[in-house]
Amino acid sequence: MLVFWKQRLVFLAVPKTGTSAWEAALLPHASMTVLDPPELKHAPVYRYNRFFRPMFDKMGVEHMDVLAVIREPISWLGSWYRYRQRGFLEGKPTSTRGMSFDDFCQAYATGDRPPFANVGSQAKFIEPRPNGTAVTHLFKYENQASLIAFMEDRLKVQIDLPRENVSPRRDLDLSPQTEEKLRRKCAADFDAWDRAT
């Protein structure tokens, strides 16, 4: 999570949406950065609302814009699948080594996800709170040009976005049946991505 105090902007770090690259590019311009622990670095709206918003309120801020980036859901799952293929996870319950992307997505679309497929939900990450705390600027990962233009305008800086934390390439083929199941079971994630800029 990156906070830009003067610009009244909070950049939430949705996992697997290029947050490491954005951190590298924007760290010098941020007033506050939360890089650890992962539960706070990747604080969803509900955790931002619980821990950070009250602190900002006490500092006299009436409103902070909240920005998030979400990725096309199948591509997002592909990034998780590839990330969990890495050697440091081998032999652990969260590893996806030795399984196909289709099997990973089938497991993700079940009600009781096994550890390797328990990666959360982008729609849940950005879910508004009953008190009105919500994402005010929602961008598509696939539309980096629009996000860069927004951030350059808001921060009044030129942004050079590096490539960071890139997962290894893997086959990401899905059967039509698995894709249909994902679109049905994870409709909120597809709807959220459709709403993004």
Residue 129 CB neighbour total at 10 angstroms: 13
Q: Which domains occur in the chain, in start order?
A: 2-195 (3.40.50)
Condensed to tens digits (0 to 9), the pLDDT of residues 132-191 reads: 999 999 999 999 999 999 999 999 999 988 776 665 667 799 999 999 999 999 999 999
The answer to whether residues 69 and 17 touch, using CB atoms and an 8 Å cutoff, is yes
pTM for the model: 0.93
C-beta of residue 35 within 8 angstroms of C-beta of residue 41: yes
